[in-house]
Amino acid sequence: MRIVLLGAPGSGKGTQAKILTEEKHVPHISTGDMLRAAVAAGTRFGQKAKSIMEAGNLVSDDIMLGIIAERLVEPDAADGFILDGFPRTRQQAADLEELLDQLGVPLDAAILMDVDFDILMKRLTGRRTCSKTGKLLNIYFTPQAEIDACKQAGGELLHREDDNEETISKRLQVYRESTEPVVEFYRKRGRLKVVNADGEIAEVNARLLDVL
């Protein structure tokens, strides 16, 4: 299974990709996670990426293509992958087509996680990660017992640096301007599937499995 998950920040791509990766036994490849790892490692590239991400802007297409080209030839991606956060521009979508052509592995589908714009803000401002388990939580939506479980396990609720209101507005604007054309790119090629991503995590997962 080779798929791309598309959707605005906060549409639940990461959450659903983490579940699908277990169900389908193919790696979850998140360019945002890869960039955050580079930032945490403190490399020169990581330092550059940090300021771009904190401003809510996009890392350049050629750098992203390099990162993804290296990742897709790793052995664990031989039988498929779930791309989360890539492609994010029309150029990246065209680059990915070319790369997959060269590798001889076409994409099965691009799935748009469709969510009303007003829900996104709450999802993003409330989003936290448990430092102990890596679990994604939301202070508005996750049952209190689950949040307490993280703290009881000795974990802390981590807030992503770019999940503040100013950066979020910028990221949503960048999504509209740069990433919505990617949706059209796949629609025109008859490869787009749209999933209603509003609702409980398990419900959305069931809808995803339905279209796959």
Active site amino acids: 13, 88, 127, 160, 171
Tokens describing residue 41: 């490692």
Q: How many residues bind ligand AMP (CB under 6 A)?
A: 17
Chain positions 137 to 196 lying near ligand AMP, rule: CB under 6 A, are 162, 171
Q: Count CB neighbours of 141 within 10 A.
A: 13
Instruction: Return the exposure string of 94-115: e unless at least 16 CB atoms fall within 10 Å of the residue's CB, then b.
Output: ebbbeeeeeeebebebbbbbeb
Cβ–Cβ under 8 Å, residues 114 and 204: no
Residue 29 is a binding residue for ligand AMP (CB under 6 A): no
CB of 176 to ligand AMP, least distance (A): 13
Q: DSSP letters of 191-210?
A: -EEEEE--S-HHHHHHHHHH
Helical H segments across 104-175, by residue range:
117-125, 144-152, 165-174
Q: Which stretch binds ligand AMP (CB under 6 A): 52-60, 122-130, 150-158, 185-193?
A: 52-60
- Of 26, 59, 72, 120, the one binding ligand AMP (CB under 6 A) is 59
Residue among 135 and 171 whose Cβ is closer to ligand AMP: 171
- Of 50, 81, 86, 168, the one binding ligand AMP (CB under 6 A) is 86
- Of 64, 82, 111, 113, the one binding ligand AMP (CB under 6 A) is 64
Distance of CA 107 to the CA centre of its chain: 17
Residue 85 is a binding residue for ligand AMP (CB under 6 A): yes
Residues contributing to the site for ligand AMP (CB under 6 A): 9, 31-32, 35, 52-53, 56-59, 64, 85-86, 88, 92, 162, 171
